Structure 1
Amino acid sequence: MFNSLRRAFPSSLLLNDANALLYSAKTFTAAMLAYYIALSVGLDRPSWSIITVYIVSQTSVGASLSRSVYRLTGTITGAAMTVVIVPNFVNTPIICSLVLTGWITLCLYFSQLDRTPRAYAFVLAGYTASLIGFPAVFEPGAIFDIAITRVQEIMIGILCASFIHRYVIPKRITGLFNSKLAVTQRDARRMVIDTLKREAGEKEKQLQLALTLQSLDGFAHHLPYDFAISKSSRKARQLIHDRLSRLLVVSNQLHDYLHELNLLPDSIATLVSEVTDWLACEDSTARKAGAERLRRRCVALQHRSSADELNFKEALRVNFVKRLEETIMLLQQCEQLSHALLLAKPEHMIDGAEEAKGYVYHRDHFTAARAALGAFAIIFSGCLLWIYSAWPDGATAVSILGVCCTLFGSFDTPVPHIVKYIAGSVYGVIISLIYSFILLPQVTEFSVLVAVLAPAYLLAGSLQARPPTTFMAMGITLTLPILSELGARYSGDFATAINTAVALFAATGYAVVSMGLLQTVQADSAIRRLLHRCRRDIRYRAKGLSSMNDVAWVNLMIDRTALILPRLPRSNQTADSVLNSLLHYLNIGLAVTYLKRSLNKLEGETALQVNTLLNLLARGAQPGELQKRISLILAINPPVSHQQPHALIEHIIDLHCALKNCALKERDKEQSHDY
């Protein structure tokens, strides 16, 4: 019987349910505490404190506290701007709407550029101005008092949410980060095993690492708010990111070398087999002991193989063994760093902490401006409809419209998320009407009120903790306090409640239509733009116009990969072609950087040919033309054991392999025409 129950309810599902219920109970406790305090101090709308708790609460301590800080910062900024804007422009409604809309969309623009959890502060600065500013046009003289009161109500909600999540059965994000990091390192070893065994789908597994690194960076942003972090720990995390990012590059180069070599000599094949066994070993102590032995073997094999003048295939083998040795080193350094983090002893880090780069974000001003301009058109058109229709509840509708544009503007396809919110709002309105006109009139004590509110909020809170139902749950948790008029005394008004509900659905319905037209980003166009930016950056690097070093380039490409991967299922492009392009643009950029850096050290015909190659890359030449130039460089610079020529040829070979694979797999005109 128990076995059948375990099969029916897997432990992971039970754990998720338990975590969701715990989150819901803690959040409801914080909301009721905030509500009680807001009532006690006589604030105008204590329901805002409840709303704030449900907005800032997250499933971990660090995420909740960081979100609280960003919300407080954004709220104060947004309220201050509202106080500045509304009194100065209230006599000209269109200008006032124009300025308020401009501020909201400016905040959206900066939030799109930031792309870290800090962007939430910009979002809040925008939609706080929307929530306070538009309804306040009817009371411009009271705008300062309204803004101060809203900030106080929100601050109480923030403090209560922070206190409860921090001290009541706290769930540390540090533990989540460490467990995720351990799984990532295990997956990285498996990725290299698949590469060495030439398994199908290895490229997809390589690039899945990019999504994992993005997820780890998301965790890392909240770690300082766990109160168990130091500057050295941050450096250690950055170093781990740099090493894992480099491992993806090396794994792809190993794939290219294996594809080019086809058959390996017995000595290298034996080494590959031993490295594969080492990677599959689950005992960290055994891996540490085996790593040094394998690295010594790799170095010895490199020396034997490069003792004399080499042909192209032999040089490829030397590069292959060198990358094997680098793979072992990178994985061992990651284990050393993660062990230091686990023991909270980051002083045991490896050398190079001062050079740690960490995650590098792709920032696109055009895309951010497009989203902001679309939101501007939507909100301002809503303002014009409100002004010229003289709709009494138009201010409420426009304020909700502003929230929709800022809250959902970061999604490529915002409509499905807004539809979920509308579905939740339908439930929220129904529940609110039941509470307002059936249950609340009979409540006379606060303890009874808490008991009455508990069923709806506990259910909605548990749904909010589950990503698939988060937006639907928010439709309930944000609608219920407002429509139920949870103030100091019961003041239920059916007409007011219905008018507010109509404004809510009018605003969200208008958001669905307008954001579907103006804010939806097609997956194909987004992918093409990202790939174009990769090619443009390669041309800049070939011209010497980029100051980005190798580590920053790799980390930037990791982020671009993480942006492209979720869009592939909605794209008409083949995943294999796009993933191949990403990996080889990454390698081309690295090779170009080295060639540009080494140009001043080269002489004679070699310098001329390398300079010509870089000029061709800068002009966006075809892969075939570039490969001909590479053949000329290899003809006048045979691979030898001397350090400078061999280093040059190593990167020329990397460029050759990357271009060859691009030429083989990018047959369509659009993807093969330039770099």
Structure 2
Amino acid sequence: MNRQQAMSRTSSLHRHSAATLHAIKRAGREWGAGAGLVWLHLFKTVVAVLAAMGIAMLLDLPQPRIAMTTVFVLMQPLSGMVLAKSFYRIVGTAVGTIAALVLGAVFVQQPEWYVLGLTVWVAACTAAAVRNRHFRWYGFVLAGYTAALIGTPLVMQPNALYLAALGRAAEVAVGIVCSSAVSALIVPMQTSTVLLRTLHVRYANFTALASSVLSTRLPRGTFERRFADLVDAIVGFEATRVFAAFEDPSIRMRSQHLARLNSEFMDLCARLHALRQLLKRLHWRGEVIESVEPYFRELASLLSTPPRDGEGDSAHASRVATALATFQTSLPKRMRSTRVAIEAHAPSLLPDFDTSGELLYRFVSEFILYANTYASLAVEDNVISREPGIAPYMNKTNGYVVAFMFLRTAVVIATVGWFWIETDWPSGSLALTGAALTCALTSSAPNATRLAFQMAVGALFATVAGYVFTSFVYPVIDGFPLLCVALTPVFAAGAFLMTRRNIAGYGVGFSVFFCLLAGPDNVIAYAPMSLINNGMAIVASMLVASVGFAVVFPPDMGWLIERMCGDLRRQGVFACHGVLPGLNRRFQSGTHDLMFQLRMLLTPRSRRHRDALRWMLVTLEVGHAIIDLRKECAAAAYVNQMDSRWNASIDDLRGDIARLFARPDKRRIARALLAVRAATWVAQDVLDRLRHDRDRRHDLQRMLSCLHFIRTALLDRDAPLGTLRTRVSRSARSRAAAR
């Protein structure tokens, strides 16, 4: 009995130990995926900064602090981001250095003209940066503020300008090499790994959303919120793909494959939204939804198929695509049998039924393409990577945004420069440099005013910390190792703040300006009063920039938001009149990019945010249907030969819908509906003559489905166009009643 008890106790201890070990491993994985990554980034940043400082001192460069500042600006959690940023920093530094030499040569000892030329240059570079986003943005802003960093302190000493430019280039090069080497050699986190993980998460999230939409009536707010997340994923994927290409040759070789995958995902998102809108409208027609709902539920069941034990993502996606292909093959025959029953007792429901069948068939086709492309990522020798390129992803930036960024930057820099010249402020050159740096680094921020203020507060604390180090720490340090030990807590604190999304501005201001103000040189100058004056100049320039951003053309002003919403609506015009080859990708990418910009500016879940999102959805809905219709018309040129009214009716339809999206109002909605009806009548007349030509009947039925879907989208009372139509109609009825 005692032996059995001992064995039981031993077994219990083993189970308890195994459970404890499993819990420890799970906690370790969770820590490694969360806080561990933050600590790793802090460690790599501190190592890179100290290495840049040491190498710059060893090479006896004039200002090692510039190399240290470069590391803080460059360091990113992913190695691909660091390499991409380094590339554009090299280009931007070279261009900015040339600009500094040209401005210094043209305006020799003429500070007024020099400030004017520098203002125009920095404002132009900042405006160009807003037009060209991602890390190309960084190349433009660097070209702007590098000219200020090099030339402003030496505007009255042209003989020293050339040597300063060479020294600046060497210091930046040291910072680039150190940040890139540390990021790539010390526990590298590759962007390609993140890219593949993102694709997996996106595939899983989309299939879950599609299954929910097809099987249940997902609330509108929930759908719009989850669909908006997909928009962010589409735009973010393009940036990540560019970063990954810098570090991974296989990603670079598969660039067209990944671009095609993102294009197919955009098509699939637009098709899912169209299906969701159709399901919502069919619930108003109970008999139709009863007829098509079994097909939607069956499709939802196929999409929600769980992976088998040990089955990878690619194998699961391939298996789902095979099942969907089988479903698609049997779908037309089954839909025709259901159609016969509807035609017998309710012919008026046929347009809704035919449209639902057509959209369902297109959704399945596009999901099969997307799933097969996703599954083929696992194939090393991928043939898709060698196929011809597709239409490029389009970044759309409103011209007013670019112009206002130019004017806003020019006002801030000109104000600081004017004050410097009028007062002969000893630290005025540094204030001008700080203003240029702030305008450049905040140009892509959703809330530039808040970021500039955070940077000012960070620079204030950097000034205090710099005073402490200059007065009490540097004088008692002997040797480079002790210097590294003393600076490590300061650098780690700044890097930690930079990893926090909502307070990153404090970290940027503290880290960058501690290095610029109090970073150690080979021969340290113990001048605390000069440091305080320079720190006050930088803080003052940032506060001026913050006030200027809030007063001069703030990015969230209603007039500008309305212009950006107008650009979003004009994507519908583009769908109607754009060149057809590659139009779908250009239309989709431009629409998603504009909505991404609006989401960055507008408060989440606010009324303006919801309105912008709904305009995007209706633009995608109608624009996608118009492009489908145009493709069908191009493939069925015989329709105009059978009825000469056909091309004219389609041209009228495209023109009226383009005018509607350019300037939506009641009269244009009515004209667009009349144009849809006229084109539908012509298509129906041609269809009636094709009783014995099955293929051509299918062509006409697809066109009729597109036309019917456009009509229902224009009449949808929950969409912006339908709401506008209802609101205007009510006001007209009120005026009639008053008369």
Quote the residue 1:222 is aligned against.
243
Q: What residue in structure 1 maps to residue 494 of structure 2?
A: 460
SS state at 2:254 partner: helix
State how far apart, in whole Å, the 2-side matches of 1:92 and 1:644 are. 72
Alignment of 1:116-131 (within 5 A): 116-131=134-149
Go from structure 1 to structure 2 and tell me whether the alpha carbon gap of 1:261 and 1:61 turns closer, same or farther (over 3 Å shift): same
- Identify the residue that residue 33 of structure 1 maps to in structure 2: 51
Distance in 1 (CA, whole Å) between partners of 2:440 and 2:515 is 21
**Maintained 8 Å contact 2:56/2:67:** yes
Change (3 A) 1:523 1:515: closer
1: distance between equivalents of 2:725 and 2:363?
A: 34
Find the partner of 1:243 among 253, 259, 264: 264
Deviates more, 1:253-262 or 1:663-672: 663-672
SS in 2 for 1:160: helix
For the residues of structure 1 that align with 2:340 and 2:561, how far apart are their CA atoms?
Answer: 46
8 Å CA contact 1:523, 1:568 repeated in 2: no
- How much does 1:115 deviate? 1.5
Counterparts of 1:49-198 in structure 2 under 5 Å?
Answer: 49-196=67-214, 197-198=216-217
Contact 1:42 1:488 in 2 (8 A): yes
**1:495-551 alpha-carbon deviations (Å, 9 max, x no partner):** 111111111111111111112111421264444223212333434554568886122
> Are residues 449 and 615 of structure 1, via their aligned partners in 2, closer, same or farther at CA, if it must alter by over 3 Å?
closer
Aligned match for 1:616, one of 656, 677, 682: 656
Q: Go from structure 1 to structure 2 and tell me whether the alpha carbon gap of 1:29 and 1:250 turns closer, same or farther (over 3 Å shift).
A: same
- Give the TM-score, by structure 1 length: 0.91
How many angstroms does 1:307 deviate by? 8.3
Q: Is the 8 A contact 2:46 2:492 kept in 1?
A: yes
- Counterpart contact for 1:123–1:406, Cα < 8 Å: yes
After superposition, residues 437-448 of structure 1 pair within 5 angstroms as 437-448=471-482
2:410 paired residue among 368, 376, 381:
376
* Amino acid aligned to 1:346: N
Distance in 1 (CA, whole Å) between partners of 2:450 and 2:630 is: 47
Residue 380 of structure 1 and its aligned partner are, at CA, apart by 1.3
Task: Note the C-alpha offset of 1:178.
Answer: 0.9
Choose from 512, 519, 528 the match for 1:494: 528
Tell me which residue corresponds to 1:529: 563
Relative contact order, higher structure (CA 8 A, sep 6+)? 1
Which whole-Å CA distance do the structure 1 matches of 2:579 and 2:83 have between them?
Answer: 41
- Counterpart of 1:374, as a letter, is R
Counterpart of 1:256 (choices 269, 277, 294) is 277
On the 8 A contact 1:98/1:380 being kept in 2, the answer is yes
Task: Name which of structure 1's ranges 406-415 and 321-330 shifts more when overlaid on structure 2.
Answer: 321-330
Displacement of 1:667 in angstroms is 6.3
1:631 paired residue among 677, 691, 694: 677
Does residue 297 in structure 1 map to residue 330 in structure 2? yes
Which segment drifts farther, 355-364 or 129-138? 355-364
Q: Which residue number in structure 2 is paired with residue 587 of structure 1?
A: 621
Structure-2 separation of matches of 1:279 and 1:103: 54
Q: State how 1:553-564 maps to structure 2 within 5 Å.
A: 553-564=587-598
Q: Which moved more, 1:199-208 or 1:304-313?
A: 304-313
Q: Residues 177, 664 of structure 1: CA spacing in aligned structure 2 closer, same or farther, 3 A cutoff? A: closer
Aligned residues of 1:422 and 1:508 also touching (Cα < 8 A) = yes
Give the distance between the partners of 1:543 and 1:330, measured in 2 at CA: 24
> How big is the shift at 1:470?
2.4
Aligned pair partner of 1:315 in 351, 367, 379: 351
Question: Match of 2:622, SS?
Answer: helix
Contact map agreement 1:436 1:485 (CA 8 A) in 2:
no
Tell me whether 330-339 or 33-42 shows the greater mean CA deviation. 330-339
Deviation larger for 216-225 or 319-328? 319-328
Residue 270 of structure 2 contacts residue 624 of structure 2 at CA under 8 Å; is this kept in 1? Answer: no
Q: Distance in 2 between matches of 1:500 and 1:458?
A: 24
Corresponding residue number in structure 2 for 1:429? 463
CA contact (8 A) 2:125 2:143 kept: yes
Q: What secondary structure sits across from 1:134 in the alignment?
A: helix
- Tell me the residue number matched to 1:282: 306
Aligned ranges for residues 307-386 of structure 1 at < 5 Å?
311=347, 313-347=349-383, 353-354=387-388, 356-357=390-391, 359-386=393-420
Quote the residue 2:440 is aligned against.
406
SS of equivalent to 1:356: coil
Q: CA RMSD in A?
A: 3.0
What's the secondary structure of 1:637's corresponding residue?
helix
Counterpart contact for 2:714–2:722, Cα < 8 Å: no
Contact 1:249 1:587 (8 Å CA) reproduced: yes
Please state if 1:204 is matched with 2:237. no
Q: Deviation at 1:83?
A: 0.5
Instruction: Give 3-state SS (helix, strand or coil) of 2:459's partner.
Output: helix
State the shift of 1:192 in Å: 1.4
Unmatched 5+ residue regions in structure 2? 1-18, 308-315, 661-666, 689-693, 729-739
Deviations 1:217-248 (A, max 9, x none): 22111001223435441111111111110011
For residues 656 and 394 of structure 1, the distance between their equivalents in structure 2, rounded to whole angstroms, comes to: 63
| Maintained 8 Å contact 1:413/1:516 | no
Q: Give distance in 2, aligned partners of 1:133 and 1:670.
A: 59
Does the aligned pair in 2 maintain the 1:30–1:160 contact within 8 Å?
yes
Which deviates the most, 511-520 or 157-166?
511-520
* Aligned residue type for 1:130: A
Q: Secondary structure at the match of 1:569?
A: coil
**Residue type at the aligned position of 1:333:** L
State the one-letter code of the partner of 2:141: V
Greater alpha carbon shift after TM alignment, 334-343 vs 551-560: 334-343
- Aligned equivalents of 2:717, 2:157: Cα separation in 1: 63
Query: How far apart, CA to CA, are the structure 1 residues paired with 2:388 and 2:726?
Result: 38
Q: Deviations over 1:570-594 (max 9, x none)?
A: 6863554432221111232234445
Say if 2:434 and 2:538, in contact at 8 Å, map to a contact too: yes
Percent of counterpart pairs with the same letter?
Answer: 17
| More deviation, 102-111/145-154 | 102-111
Q: Distance in 1 between matches of 2:606 and 2:251?
A: 45
Deviates more, 1:179-188 or 1:636-645: 636-645
Secondary structure, in 3 states, of the residue corresponding to 2:204? helix
